[in-house]
Amino acid sequence: MSSEITSCSAIDYLNDDADKQKFVDKIESIVKKFENKEYGDILSNDNESFHNDFNELLEVTKKIKSQLVPYSQVTRIMYKFYSDNTDGSDILVMLFSSEIEKSIKECNDKYILYYHEILIKCVEHMKLAFKQMDSLYYKQQSKLDYQKQQIDKQEKNLEKYLKTIKKTKKKLKKVYKMKDNIYIQFVSILSIFSAIIFSLFSAAKMVTTSFSQLSNNVPVHRIMMFTSLTGMAILSIIFLLLKFVATLADKEVDKPLKISKFTIKCPTYTIGMLILLLIFVLTSIYDKL
């Protein structure tokens, strides 16, 4: 076949003519069969099935120009094959090279024929496609895998940091709570101290008043009346003060006391008031007699 390219041949090539498409389809068919392991023992020296398919490819190759080989289609087929079968690329190239060598020897000519040249170029293009996939695609994939590992590592570190932040927040809440408790305890101690001072002062005042009244010949039962009223007032003031402090500290002033079906919420204050009230009532009755 002449090496010159006519205008019609070039136009047919650009428009995907039938011969070029048959060439592409045949290569793709062989590659798919190889991928699906339809050739059986592919390393056998006498693989008749592959040999027959190659001869059909050889006949199709004779109908296309050596200058108009559809390399882009060959690249597409090889990329697709290599994406799923990285280990079979060398064997596929070896099989094509072996069949081309056999065909060249059968011609017994000093120079190779144009269709042998086309197939050799296709084999070289297969090698180039595989090298490109290996050097570009898989190196990029390796970089992507490395980046993914780094991202996973950072995510794990982030989870650790988040857990640390949560623990720190909990500790900080405890510190704030302890701080509030310290303030409350300080106010409680100050209030209790004030209540004790007030009680002692009131008691001393009551004793002084009682002795002064006794020296003025005031009856004892009237002194007890006055003392019981004053005691109820002082007890109520102290109770209200302690109740206020207990409310701030979110605590109870006194433990409830259960008597039969009844429950006394503040037994100390209640019993104290009842005793003082009883003294007041008895002394009042005695005063009227």
Place of tokens 């068919």: 29
Lowest mean pLDDT among 18-22, 202-206, 210-214, 215-219: 210-214
**Do 197 and 276 have their domain in common?**
yes
Domain, as residue range, for 45 = 7-153
> Could you tell me the pLDDT band of residue 255, with boundaries at 50, 70 and 90?
confident
Distance CA 146, CA 151 (A): 9
pLDDT digits (tens, 9 = 90+) for 39-85: 776 666 567 888 888 888 888 888 877 677 787 888 888 888 877 66
**Do 233 and 148 have their domain in common?**
no
Give the residue from 171, 167, 191, 197 showing the smallest Cα distance to 247.
Answer: 191
Note the helical H segments in 62-88. 71-84
**Do 18 and 143 have their domain in common?**
yes
Number of domains in the chain: 2
pLDDT digits (tens, 9 = 90+) for 163-211: 889 888 888 888 887 777 777 677 667 767 776 787 677 767 766 776 6
Distance CA 78, CA 212 (A): 122
**Do 71 and 179 have their domain in common?**
no
pLDDT digits (tens, 9 = 90+) for 116-139: 888 888 888 888 888 877 777 667
Name every residue whose Cβ is closer than 8 Å to that of residue 184 and which is 6 or more positions away in sequence: 248, 249
Tell me the pTM.
Answer: 0.44
Buried b (16+ CB within 10 A) or exposed e, 70-84: beebbbebbeebbee
pLDDT of residue 240: 80
- Which of 101, 126, 153 terminates a domain? The answer is 153
**Do 99 and 171 have their domain in common?**
no
Instruction: Judge whether 223 and 284 are in contact, CB under 8 Å.
Output: no
- Which of 131, 153, 175 terminates a domain? The answer is 153
pLDDT of residue 116: 84
pLDDT of residue 2: 42
Name every residue whose Cβ is closer than 8 Å to that of residue 230 and which is 6 or more positions away in sequence: 202, 206
Place of tokens 């982030």: 158
**Do 102 and 203 have their domain in common?**
no
pLDDT of residue 1: 44
Distance CA 190, CA 192 (A): 6
**Do 149 and 165 have their domain in common?**
no
What's 9-57 look like in SS3?
HHHHHHCCCHHHHHHHHHHHHHHHHHHCCCCCCCCCCCCHHHHHHHHHH
